[in-house]
Amino acid sequence: MTPQEKILSVARETILTEAKAIANLEQLLDQNFANAVEAIYHSKGRVIITGIGKSAAIATKIVATLNSTGTPAIFMHAADAIHGDLGTILKDDVVICISKSGNTPEIKVLVPLIKNFGNRLIAITGNTESFLGKQADHTINTYIEKEACPNNLAPTTSTTAQLVIGDALAVCLLKMRNFSSKDFAKYHPGGALGKKLYLRVSDIADQNQKPAVAPDTPIPQVIIEISEKMLGVAAVIENGKIVGIVTDGDIRRMLYKSIDISGLQARDIMSKNPKTISYDAMAVDALDVLEENKISQLLAVKKEKYYGVVHLHNLIREGII
């Protein structure tokens, strides 16, 4: 076996080991999981998630997922908690404690303190018979047969199982809250993902100039209008309504057919009934229209009136594509 073949073999074994453990989680789900979800859902407070070591790293990811899907959550490191950070926990908060063994020294100190506060405690542990497992109000079982680490020591499969349970909690809560894509956009305003969810045609068209000509505009003036506005297109407007469109392609095709353009007007080369989209439509919908019709520009309208232009390059620049 070559060195590369050995690498791929280890990688595949790691993936299969973790996949088997994740598949087994479905069999471990019981009423405790459902009760934990309902406890969080009906809570008037936040979710405080704590852990130590690699479990703490997983806790921060679960916190981020909950926050982005409508469930307020805060990370509290288990070691810091017993040295002053217990003040993070408020009266109505639900606390989730993550620990593979459920018996680490920090957990044994922290759990009684949380119980004394009267907060609901949820355990995510691979040992339901541990100190944490027995003390928690709801214990979610993340037992694994072995770590992917060949020495069965480094947290690998166990942390993946914790992560998946965290995702399951978040998705259940998301569905119970009827959390929609519009809600999601509120928490993800930045980046391409957020823009796909909230960026509208008007947001893009407002950034562009508004090239327009009349049906009887001479072709030289049409060329100037298209060139000055730098969108490769001009809307043909009559009585306030769009009656056609002239693009760079129309100009090229005209010049290919005839060098003499002195008597030509916009109406002679324009394309009638151009594709349009409402100014308040989502930008991602504009992309669908452009791709479906294999065009680069799209005219935006507001109450049947010309509003502006959306160019394919706008969508690329905004990260929609």
Domain extent listing, the chain:
3-179, 198-317
The reported pLDDT for the residue numbered 260 is 73
CA-based Rg of the chain, rounded to a whole angstrom?
30
The CA distance from 283 to 315, in Å, is 8
The CA distance from 278 to 289, in Å, is 12
The reported pLDDT for the residue numbered 191 is 60
The reported pLDDT for the residue numbered 257 is 79
Quick check: 29 pLDDT over 90? Answer: yes
Name the pLDDT band for 198 (thresholds 50, 70, 90). Answer: confident
Quick check: 7 pLDDT over 80? Answer: yes
Cα distances (angstroms) measured from residue 278 to each of 136, 207, 300: 54, 16, 6
Q: List CB contacts of 20: < 8 A, sequence separation 6 or more.
A: 145
Name the pLDDT band for 144 (thresholds 50, 70, 90). Answer: very high
Cα distances (angstroms) measured from residue 276 to each of 204, 252, 317: 14, 23, 21
Does residue 102 or residue 199 have the better pLDDT? Answer: 102
Query: Collapsing DSSP states into helix, strand and coil, what is residue 123?
Result: strand
The reported pLDDT for the residue numbered 185 is 66
Name the pLDDT band for 320 (thresholds 50, 70, 90). Answer: confident
Q: Does domain 3-179 have CATH number 3.40.50.10490?
A: yes
pTM of this prediction? Answer: 0.69
Mean pLDDT of the chain: 91
CATH homologous superfamily of domain 198-317?
Answer: CBS-domain (3.10.580.10)
Cα distances (angstroms) measured from residue 206 to each of 35, 162, 236: 50, 46, 19
Mean pLDDT value across residues 37-59: 96
Mean pLDDT value across residues 150-156: 91
The CA distance from 200 to 308, in Å, is 13
Query: Collapsing DSSP states into helix, strand and coil, what is residue 284?
Result: helix
Quick check: 194 pLDDT over 80? Answer: no
Question: Is the backbone of residue 84 left (phi > 0), alpha (psi -120 to 50) or beta?
Answer: left
The residue count for the chain: 321
Name the pLDDT band for 188 (thresholds 50, 70, 90). Answer: low
Query: In the chain, pLDDT over 90 holds for what percent of residues?
Result: 71
SS3 labels along 44-74: CCCEEEEECCHHHHHHHHHHHHHHHCCCCEE
Pair of tokens at residue 45? 């407070």
DSSP state of 264: -
CB 160 within 8 A of CB 153: no
The reported pLDDT for the residue numbered 267 is 92
